[in-house]
């Protein structure tokens, strides 16, 4: 559930009809605010650990991909040419 916040006062760029909170605008643009809310329930340390785990996974996948690209192709497993 989103926290209720007062809507911003309309400015010359915004009329009262189109005034929205940032979270309402994000939802209308297709952002899943539940993910933001879930992240904000975590402590800084938990978010840092999650970030590090995701970074470690991405780096491992990059390393494996590089190993696969650097591997010499064998002639027996290459597709036949037409």
- Tell me if 1 sits within 8 A of 34, measured CB to CB: no
pTM over 0.75: no
- Tell me if 23 sits within 8 A of 2, measured CB to CB: yes
Residue that wins the pLDDT comparison between 5 and 69: 69
List, for residues 12-49, the tens digit of each pLDDT value. Answer: 555 555 668 988 999 999 999 998 899 999 999 999 99
pLDDT, position 82: 52
List, for residues 51-75, the tens digit of each pLDDT value. Answer: 999 999 999 999 999 999 999 887 6
Q: Evaluate the CA torsion angle 47, 49, 53, 55 in order and state its sign.
A: positive
């Amino acid at each position: 559930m989103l926290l209720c916040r007062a809507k911003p006062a309309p400015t010359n760029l915004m009329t009262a009809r189109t005034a929205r909170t940032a979270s309402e605008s994000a939802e209308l643009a297709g952002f899943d605010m539940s993910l933001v809310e879930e992240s904000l329930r975590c402590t800084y340390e938990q978010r840092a650990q999650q970030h590090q785990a995701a970074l470690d996974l991405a780096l491992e996948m990059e390393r494996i991909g590089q190993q696969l690209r650097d591997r010499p192709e064998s002639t027996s497993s290459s597709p036949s040419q037409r």
